[in-house]
Amino acid sequence: MRHRLTLQDTGMLIGALLVSAYVLLEVDVFVVEGVKPAAESIEADELPILGMVLSVGLLLFAWRRMRAQKQEATARMEAQAKLRDMAFQDALTGSPNRRCLIERLSMAVASPPAAGTVHAVMVIDLNGFKRINDVFGHGAGDQALVTTAQRVLSAIRDGDMVARIGGDEFVIVAMQLPSSESATGLALRVLEALGKPTMIAGVEQRLSAGIGICLLPFDGATPDETLRRADVALYKAKTTGQSTLRFFDDALDKQVRERDELEREFRRALAACEIQPFFQPIVDLETSKIIGFEALARWRHATLGEIPPERFVAVAEDIGLITTLSDQLLSMSCKAALTWPEHVRLSFNLSPVELRDINRGQSLLDLIAKNGLSPKRLEVEITESALVRDMNAARCVLGTLRDAGISIALDDFGTGYSSLYHLRNFKLDRIKIDRSFVQSMQKERESAEIVAALVGLGTGLGLAVTAEGIEGTTEEDRLRDLGCAQGQGFLFSRAVSAAETNQMFADEVDHRCA
């Protein structure tokens, strides 16, 4: 590093030279005039040597002082450069950080692409990063992030930027791409680079990611809006759970905004207990008597209207409130069931998320005990997809419930891939034949044969069998002939409020008396 002499350095050097010259001059004067210096013992011929020593000493002192000041200045400049790097660089990966990214985005927004080209901003988020941290530790997580930064950097073009903006999220800014197809190609190269095997914590891993892409220019573009749009596209890409990419578009933006509104309204409705259980009867096909009710969540919004359960249940699972919703609905359902005849059971659906919590079984028992319902009057319904997500946790939860006297029903039976395995290993009490088979059994011979086989299988294994989706008397008669004991569907009733369930029992009494 080059340095210029400061005024202080220059003055010090000049002063040393003047002092040296003065000493030498004085020595010469003493010698010429024959005057001895102060000490009588010093010979005249020694004076020039003494003057030279003093001069050299002064020059050496000045030089050393100048060198120390230069070293101090160098250290100060290096520290300032390091601080600048730290302000714009991610400490772990060495990549540019959010501050540096915003500067580059501002440049991209202010410098529209040339005709026929586009700028692309891509937000990358790793799939399964939390699992790496949880299983192998945060050191392995850091290693995965460093590997990600290196591989993304190897896939982009010279001049493109890859920045880490926090956690496992990275952003690419690629300017002057020839077309949107080029942006697709770049994103695919990144996914391919990430997917190559790598050793993390001594174990071979394959990283995958979702990529959301926003193209510039667009009306009203700002760095924040550009990142928001890329995040919207990323959200859609992440729903697949696989390595994939998505471009931002207005339809996607509308969908995400509606999802955000639904989440806010769901939180409000949950706090206000606006989501209520409605009850669809389960009847004995031989006697047509009600033997149970399935609790079904219903949400009637003041402005959005009837919101389907598949929409708000998914929201509850995503934001971690499914257990709260389930507890609230089960408490209401237990209170309703206490008004029914004692032989009528309550059937309640459990979310797959709940079956991943090994403590969920005991918390359910505590809840129904608090509400005064006998465990023998409760049946929980689960799906095969819920079982396969975490079989050990599901077995623990269901075992706790079964030991307390709660029965277990497998819903949508026949639509999964390993039903026989589950029937053998989870000791189920009931199977419910999926409505898609029941409703098509009159039109499709294959569906009729499947229903007959499922009824025979359940009966042969000693399981109760319920057919869902019965809408006509022809279906009811056929199921009765096949030996199906119980049915559920619009033929008997839609789902009704808790108050209406008691009227249904009164109507049964009136019908028998008539």
Show the tokens assigned to 398.
């269901």
For 215-246, write each residue's pLDDT tens digit: 999 988 999 999 999 999 999 898 877 889 99
3-state secondary structure of 279: strand
CATH dotted code for 98-248: 3.30.70.270
pLDDT classification of 124: cutoffs 50, 70, 90: very high
For 126-164, write each residue's pLDDT tens digit: 998 988 988 899 899 999 999 999 999 999 999 999 999
Q: What is the mean pLDDT of the chain?
A: 85
For 16-52, write each residue's pLDDT tens digit: 555 555 555 554 444 444 444 444 444 555 556 666 6
Euclidean distance between CA atoms 84 and 78, whole angstroms = 10
Cβ–Cβ < 8 Å for 223, 102? yes
pLDDT mean over 382-408: 88
Element (H, E) at 102: helix 98-110
At the topology level, CATH places domain 270-513 in: TIM Barrel (3.20.20)
Q: How far is residue 220 from each of residues 132, 168, 177, measured CA to CA in Å?
A: 39, 29, 21
> How far apart, in Å, do the first and last CA atoms of the chain sit?
107
- Number of neighbours of residue 396 by Cβ within 10 angstroms: 16
Residue 101 contacts by C-beta under 8 Å, 6 or more apart in sequence? 161, 163, 165, 171, 173
- Percent of the chain predicted with pLDDT > 90: 59
pLDDT at 416: 63
Name the residue among 295, 356, 343, 317 with its Cα closest to residue 495.
295
Whether pLDDT at 375 is above 60: yes
Secondary structure E strands in 225-375? 244-247, 276-284, 290-301, 305-307, 345-349
Whether pLDDT at 341 is above 70: yes
Euclidean distance between CA atoms 61 and 68, whole angstroms = 11
pLDDT at 41: 46
Out of 65-74, 377-386, 416-425, 462-471, pick the least confident: 416-425
Whether pLDDT at 81 is above 70: no
Indicate the burial class of 136 (C-beta count within 10 angstroms; 0-12, 13-18, 19 or more).
middle
pLDDT at 205: 87
pLDDT at 508: 66
pLDDT at 103: 92
Whether pLDDT at 115 is above 90: no
State pTM to two decimals: 0.68
For 419-439, write each residue's pLDDT tens digit: 677 777 788 999 999 999 999
pLDDT classification of 86: cutoffs 50, 70, 90: low
pLDDT at 4: 52
Q: Which residue has the higher pLDDT, 398 or 15?
A: 398
Name the residue among 177, 176, 153 with its Cα closest to residue 163.
153
For 249-258, write each residue's pLDDT tens digit: 888 888 888 8
Euclidean distance between CA atoms 246 and 230, whole angstroms = 9
pLDDT at 417: 56
pLDDT at 87: 60
pLDDT at 50: 60
pLDDT at 109: 92
Which of 153-162, 198-207, 380-389 has maximum average pLDDT? Answer: 153-162
